[in-house]
Every structure is written in C-alpha cells, then in structure tokens.
Amino acid sequence: MNVGAPPVRPGKAGGVVLVLGATSGIMRAVAHELARHGHDLVLTGRDRAETETLAADLRIRYGVRTRARQLDALAFETHAREIEDCIDDAEGQLAGAVLGIGYLGEHARAQQDSLEARRIVDTNLTACITLLTPLANHLEANGRGFLCVLSSVAGDRGRQSNYVYGAAKAGLSAYLSGLRNRLHHSGVQVTTVLPGFVDTAMTYGKEGMFLVAPPERIARGIVRAVDRRRDVVYLPGFWRGIMLVIRSIPEALFKRLRL
Amino acid sequence: MDGPNLFRSEQLSGWGRFPVERANLYRPERGAEVGRILTTAADPTYISRGLGRSYGDAALNREAGVISHVRLNRFLGFDANTGILECEAGLSFAEIIQVFLPRGYFLPVTPGTKYVTVGGAIASDVHGKNHHRDGTFGRFLVDFRLQIASGEVLVCSPEQNRDVFWATVGGMGLTGAILSARFRLVPVESAYVEADYQKAPDLDAALAAFAGSDEGYRYSMAWIDCLASGRSLGRSVLMRGNDAPRERVRAPDRDPLAPPAKRALSVPFDAPSALLNRFSIRAFNGLYYSSHRDATGRLVDFDSFFYPLDSVGHWNRLYGKRGFVQYQVAFPPQTAEGGLRALLERLSGTRRASFLAVLKRFGPANEGLLSFPFEGYTLALDLPGASGIEEFVRTLDDLVLRYGGRVYLAKDAVLSPESFAAMYPRAQEFVRIKRRLDPEGRISSSLARRIGLAG
C-alpha cells in the first residue's frame, strides 16, 4: 500500500503556489506533492466542500498554509476577479500556478448534442484562457514565476473516439506554446504537461484504458518539470514515443483506423 | 469527476485470499459520491471496503457492489489541546502514524498491521496488544458520521444515536458506510517500546505469567507454538512492554520520535503451496522458541514491536494460491485454560499446522453488539487453505462453542449461522437495529449472508 512519501526537508522550496482545479484526481496528487516540498497553497475548485477538505488535509499532513476558494470554470466573467483574489491571498509570495481544469465529457453524447460539445470546449479551452490571461499578465509584470498547465496527449491528434476533447486540448496546447514564447522574454516559464491515462475517477471503470499511471507518479513528474523549467513534458515519458508514432501515421491511413 | 457511478468488475478477496469472489468495485474520490452510489442503487446491495485486511469475506459482496474508501482518506482536523483527530474513514493507520508520531502522538489501539483504515478499525472494533488495559478502538471514538442506505447521514456517539453507535462499532460495516470519525490519539514520548521477553515452557506457565504480571504492562501478548505437544503443549514467548520515555532513547543524534528507517521486503509472487508444510512450519516454530532468550528492558521501535509482519509486503502470498484461514477465538476466564488446551491438542494432532499463533489476555467487553473481545484469553492462528479446511474449521467452531468461546468475524470465513448466533447472544438486537436503518436490506456482504445477518 502506498502511504505516500514523507515531507521533504522544509526550506527547500519557497513561495505560494496557486492550484487551479485542485480537486481532480491528478491535481489532488499535485497539491500533495507541492505541499510535501513545503509550498503554501491557494487551492480552487468547483466543489467548495471538497476544496476545503483538501486544504485541511494538506495543512495537517505537511504543516503548510493552505487556503480554499470556490471557483466555477464556466463562470468566465468572474475569472479575472477570482484570479485577483487568489493573487491577494498569496500576499506577494506567488511563485506560480498549476492549472488542471478539464472535463472529459461523453464523446458519444457530444457527437449528437452540441451543448455537450460546447461544454467540453468551454471547460478545457475557454476557461483555461480566461483564467490564464490575468495570471500571465501578473507574472509578466513581476518578471518571474511559472505557469504549469495540464493539456493532454489527446490534443496531439484527433481521433474518432474523443475528438471534441482532443480539439479543445489541441487549442490549449497551441495557446500555451504562444504564451511560452511571449513570457519567455520576461522570465516567466510556461510548462505544458501532456499526461496519458491516469488512474483517477476520469478513467476508472471506463473501457479502452491501457498503461494507466498512478496519479502520484504523474504529480512527481509535474513538480519535477516545474523545478527544471521544462517546456513540454509527456507523463509518463513513454507517451512521447507513442504520440510520435501516432502523429506520424499518414492521414490517408489514419482515417481508416478505429482509434 | 465524470464517473462517480462507474465501477470495475473485479475478483476480490480478504487478506487470507480465501474466498475469492467477483464484485462491482466502486472507488469514489469525493465524499458526496458514497451517498450517490448508495441511493442510485445500480447494484442490489453494497458493502464498504478499506484496505482489504479483514481476512475472510467481510468486505466481499458476491456479484454486487463494493465501495472502496481508499481515496476518501483525508485528515479533516486535529485539536492539539485534546489530541482529538478527525478524518475520513478511508485514512490508514500507517498515514496517521507517519504524520503524528513525529509530533508525539500514537494510535490509542492498533491491530497487528498498520495497513487498516479507520473505517475498518471501527467496523471490526479492532483490539491490540493493550486490550487488557485499554479496551478496543471503539473506546477512543468521540463520534462518527454514518451514511445509511437511504442516504441520510447520522452522527453517532456514545450519547447521540447511541444504539446505532454500538451496532456500528464491531458491526462489520452492515449498518451503513462510515464516512468520517473523530477519535483520541495518545501522547507518546518516543517511537519505542521498552519490552520484556519471557519464555513459558507450557500453557500453564504462560497463563500464570499473564495472570501474575500483565497489569504492569500496557502492551502484552505471547507468541505460542501451536505444534508443540505433550508436556510442551502451549509453550510460548511472552512479549510485553510499555511506551519508552524520551530519556530512555539514548542517542544524541537521534530524534526519539523518529526510529531508523527499515528496508522493506516483499513476497513478489505466490509461494508454491508445498513450501509451508507441517515440516517447515514445525522447524520454524521450534527455532523461533529456542532462539529466544529471556530479556528485560529491550528498546524496540514501534514498527518491529507492533507490526513485525508489515515489513514483509504481501506476506499472505507465503501460503500460495490456496490462501489461508485466520482463526481467532476468545474464551472466558473460567473455561479459558480448558478451551485453549483442547484447541491446542486438536491443532498439534493435525497436519494443519499454523505458522504464527498469538495468545493474549483480554480485558472486559464493551457495549458493541457484535464486538469480539470479552474478558478472558484469545488465541489467533493461521491455517493453510488446504482441501477440507472448511469442515475442519467447523469442528473447531464446535469445540470453541462447548467452552463458551467465540470467533472473530474480521478473520472468519467459515462460521455457520447457528454457531454465530450461539457465539454472539446480542445478534438479534443488532438485526433489529439494522432492519430499522436499512429496511430493504441494501447494505450487505458475503459475510452477512453466510452468517444470517443480511436482514
């Protein structure tokens, strides 16, 4: 049984990290990993009770300071204000942010119901952009910090089984590429994380899952990628090879496959 | 996030790996999902499951729903003034120790493995080496939140919903899903126990040692050689101790609350069934007894003292694919000697050797309707799952009943409804409360159906 690693020596890491979308399976593990390294955290989630539970848990386990905020990814008009409040919570100590807001949705439904398709795009792309816009400007003005955002290998190539989700993630990856280009000049690192299948509620009990990685492993990879100021990381790393193969299949052949 | 009601069809077993049954395993990640699963009622019945350390079929539910609480494992609050910890039911004792032992707190009661959850500890009303002094885990509970079949959440304590509280403490998860609990941790000065080791050449000597000097120890148990017979029947090594004070840990560079890290071993695959046979087990037991020397005041770290088997991951694989049956019984003081002697004679005369057996004195029972411990002595042993094991265990059950004893449901895989009813005289009170909480019998398990508790 995995008890989780003990806290690392305090004082190694500094600063407050903003964790956007903190209650998903992967992001919960990311919040643990950041707290384990001694970061104070501002956590946001749609579900207030869950976000507060996570904040209490991390406080007790790791002795870090945590604050929970309710944030609805689809309430776009509130985002600028919410980000401002989160930045205020950090009391000038904001080191950066990890954003992991996503909605897999039901692809079969999204093919029929354009509102489901819109919800998938709104959550995975629009919401991320409306949250990152004020955050990027703040960090750019400060001239330091990091933004680490969870996209997906699904964005590397559209497949018939989840292309709406894939399209949103492809858009997000492109956005992050451009943002990285812009913020590089002011010393802000933008990291794009491309996880494969991860053992969380998003995949649990669903068909067609393979090479499913434990969320703790992905979280360690994410925090390591931030520490090393990486640009784009596949997690686990072997997905880089898998996606290289998938991207290199000629379209004339790809369209005949059932993926 | 998207699939609160998704499940996986899985082959599940308890720690004894007997029996193995298919069930629909749910694994909620958010607290509110347990209620959603219960009330959606996609499966005919549900039972909660923690880390699967009960040995038999308590956390199994053949062809029905099993709700894993392992991702509902959050610390919720801690009051340093009172030592009261609040957490979700899926939190493990191992995590509690990892976080709180360095701060000078330990569990008030712990079983022989730290890989149990708080919910499982309540449902089995676990006991530890300190039962003769401190009672069961249930005694240290302030309250817990129980989600019953309707989805309603009841706060239960010795004052509030008192009858539900005492039906749930030891109730094998059959009153509903325990969501969270508050209980007292105990302050300790070090992560060590000062232990005394004393050999007893036979059962009389072991019982005399327990009766004579047990009150001087917070922790007390004996390893007993189940294969010794004749004059050596019941020969034992008593292992007893007390929490070591800070100044007893003499190492200037060492934090008394942080014992040295241990190398973890693991059994990587099923051992061939022939490996543990009566010859190898007899040899092990003989060696174990003869290699021990009497000793006093030995400083032993908590992992070695409380959880010797946890350092060998998957030790249950030693018994091979057939698994094993853990058999734990308690006898009242008047009949304990006769009952233990009869049981040991039966065991030493059979080919069904037990690898590890533990003898311990119990203190008084609590009000838990199905709580196992009562005043007297308890014996726990492993029986390899060879063919005919169920019939053999039933003959042991009959013997235990004749001496007024009972078996521990958290370890049982075989008990009949008739023997259960005779061993647990308050079972009917339990059934009445369960029917009131769960009139449609939506909370059930393979254990419940086997012993007639399905409602």
Which of B29, B78, B309 is the mutation pick for testing A, counting most A CBs within 10 A?
Answer: B29
Average pLDDT over every residue of A136-163: 96
Judge if B396 and B278 occupy the same domain. yes
Least-confidence region, from A202-206, B11-15, B236-240: A202-206
Judge if B100 and B245 occupy the same domain. no
State yes or no: pLDDT of B4 exceeds 60: no
Asked if B95 and A206 come within 8 Å (Cβ–Cβ), the reply is no
What is the percent of chain A with per-residue pLDDT over 70, rounded to a whole number? 95
Average pLDDT over every residue of A21-32: 97
pLDDT, residue A98, reads 98
B77: contact with A, CB 8 A cutoff: yes
Within-domain flag for B446 = no
**Residues of A with active-site annotation:** 165
Within-domain flag for B159 = yes
Judge if B147 and B291 occupy the same domain. no
Across the strands, what pairs with B377?
B331, B361
Q: What share of chain B is helix, strand, coil (3-state, %, to 5)?
A: 30, 25, 45
B401: contact with A, CB 8 A cutoff: no
Within-domain flag for B455 = no
Within-domain flag for A79 = yes
Within-domain flag for A1 = no
Within-domain flag for A11 = no
Judge if B327 and B381 occupy the same domain. yes
Q: What is the CATH number of the domain that holds B270?
A: 3.40.462
Within-domain flag for B447 = no
Q: Cα–Cα distance between A133 and A55 in angstroms, integer?
A: 25
Q: What share of chain A is helix, strand, coil (3-state, %, to 5)?
A: 50, 15, 35
CA distance A48 to chain B (A): 11
State yes or no: pLDDT of B355 exceeds 80: no
DSSP symbols for B288-348? HHHH---EEEEEEEHHHHH-GGGGEETGGGGG-TT-EEEEEEEE-HHHHHHHHHHHHHHHH
- Pick the last residue of a domain from B122, B153, B188: B188
Judge if B163 and B138 occupy the same domain. yes
Judge if B311 and B403 occupy the same domain. yes
State yes or no: pLDDT of A10 exceeds 50: no
Cβ neighbours of A201 in B, within 8 Å? 1-4, 6, 27-30
Least-confidence region, from A6-20, A108-122, A156-170, B6-20: A6-20
Cβ neighbours of B98 in A, within 8 Å? 3-4, 6
- Pick the last residue of a domain from B156, B172, B188: B188
Asked if A201 and B92 come within 8 Å (Cβ–Cβ), the reply is no
CA distance B26 to chain A (A): 8
The backbone torsions φ and ψ at residue A66, rounded to the nearest 5 degrees and listed phi first, read -135, 150
Asked if A61 and B30 come within 8 Å (Cβ–Cβ), the reply is no
Q: What is the CATH number of the domain that holds A70?
A: 3.40.50.720
Residue of B30, B94, B95 with shortest CB distance to A50: B30
For B100, name the nearest residue in chain A, comparing CA atoms only. Answer: A61
State yes or no: pLDDT of B230 exceeds 80: yes
Judge if B209 and B130 occupy the same domain. no
Judge if B98 and B125 occupy the same domain. yes
Q: Omega of the bond prior to A236 within 30 degrees of 0, cis? A: yes
Judge if B228 and B335 occupy the same domain. yes
Which residues form the domain of B320?
Answer: 192-416
Within-domain flag for A10 = no
State yes or no: pLDDT of A13 exceeds 60: no
Which residues form the domain of A166?
Answer: 16-254
pLDDT, residue B239, reads 96
Q: What is the CATH number of the domain that holds B141?
A: 3.30.465.10
Tokens of B225: 């050689």
Within-domain flag for A259 = no
User: What confidence tier does B2 reach under pLDDT thresholds 50, 70, 90?
Assistant: very low
CA triplet A251, A252, A256: central angle to 5 degrees?
100
Is the dihedral angle over the CA atoms A253, A258, B2, B8 positive or is it negative? negative
Least-confidence region, from A11-15, A158-162, A228-232, B306-310: A11-15
What is the Rg, in whole angstroms, of the alpha carbon atoms belonging to chain A? 18
Within-domain flag for B35 = no
Q: Cα–Cα distance between A61 and B385 in angstroms, integer?
A: 40
Neighbouring residues of B130: CB distance < 8 A, sequence distance ≥ 6: B109, B218, B219, B220
Average pLDDT over every residue of B158-181: 98
User: What confidence tier does A8 reach under pLDDT thresholds 50, 70, 90?
Assistant: low
CA triplet A106, A109, A114: central angle to 5 degrees?
115
Asked if B115 and A1 come within 8 Å (Cβ–Cβ), the reply is yes
3-state secondary structure of B244: coil
User: What confidence tier does B252 reach under pLDDT thresholds 50, 70, 90?
Assistant: low
Asked if B31 and A49 come within 8 Å (Cβ–Cβ), the reply is yes
pLDDT mean across residues, chain B: 92
| Segment B295-329, tens digit of pLDDT | 899 999 999 999 988 887 888 888 888 888 889 99
Judge if B200 and B341 occupy the same domain. yes
Asked if B27 and A106 come within 8 Å (Cβ–Cβ), the reply is no
Domain count, chain B: 2
More confident call, A2 vs A184:
A184
Tokens of B172: 């094998």
Among A108, A124, A194, which Cα is nearest to A156's? A194
pLDDT, residue B455, reads 61
Restricting to B residues 38-57, those with a Cβ less than 8 Å away from any Cβ of A are 51
Average pLDDT over every residue of A108-116: 95
Asked if A106 and B2 come within 8 Å (Cβ–Cβ), the reply is yes
- Pick the last residue of a domain from B146, B165, B188: B188
Domain count, chain A: 1
pLDDT, residue A259, reads 82
State yes or no: pLDDT of B1 exceeds 50: no
Asked if B76 and A49 come within 8 Å (Cβ–Cβ), the reply is no
Cβ neighbours of B74 in A, within 8 Å? 53-54, 56-57
State yes or no: pLDDT of B136 exceeds 50: yes
Asked if A6 and B98 come within 8 Å (Cβ–Cβ), the reply is yes
Complex confidence, ipTM: 0.93
pLDDT mean across residues, chain A: 94
Least-confidence region, from A38-47, A226-235, B100-109, B310-319: B310-319
Judge if B157 and B209 occupy the same domain. no
| Segment B12-59, tens digit of pLDDT | 999 999 999 999 999 999 999 999 999 998 999 999 999 999 999 999
Q: Omega of the bond prior to B252 within 30 degrees of 0, cis? A: no
User: What confidence tier does B385 reach under pLDDT thresholds 50, 70, 90?
Assistant: confident
Cβ neighbours of B3 in A, within 8 Å? 201-202, 204-206
Judge if B328 and B353 occupy the same domain. yes
Within-domain flag for A8 = no
Within-domain flag for B9 = no
β pairing state of A40-45 and A146-150: unpaired
Residue of B29, B74, B98 with shortest CB distance to A3: B98
Among B315, B373, B411, which Cα is nearest to B134's? B373
B27: contact with A, CB 8 A cutoff: yes
pLDDT, residue B273, reads 64
CB pairs under 8 A between A and B: 73
Average pLDDT over every residue of B359-387: 94
Which of A9, A43, A60, A206 is the mutation pick for testing B, counting most B CBs within 10 A?
Answer: A60
Within-domain flag for A3 = no
Within-domain flag for A9 = no
pLDDT, residue B167, reads 98
Q: What is the pTM of this model?
A: 0.94
Q: Cα–Cα distance between B33 and B108 in angstroms, integer?
A: 30
State yes or no: pLDDT of B71 exceeds 50: yes
For A53, name the nearest residue in chain B, comparing CA atoms only. Answer: B76
State yes or no: pLDDT of A74 exceeds 90: yes
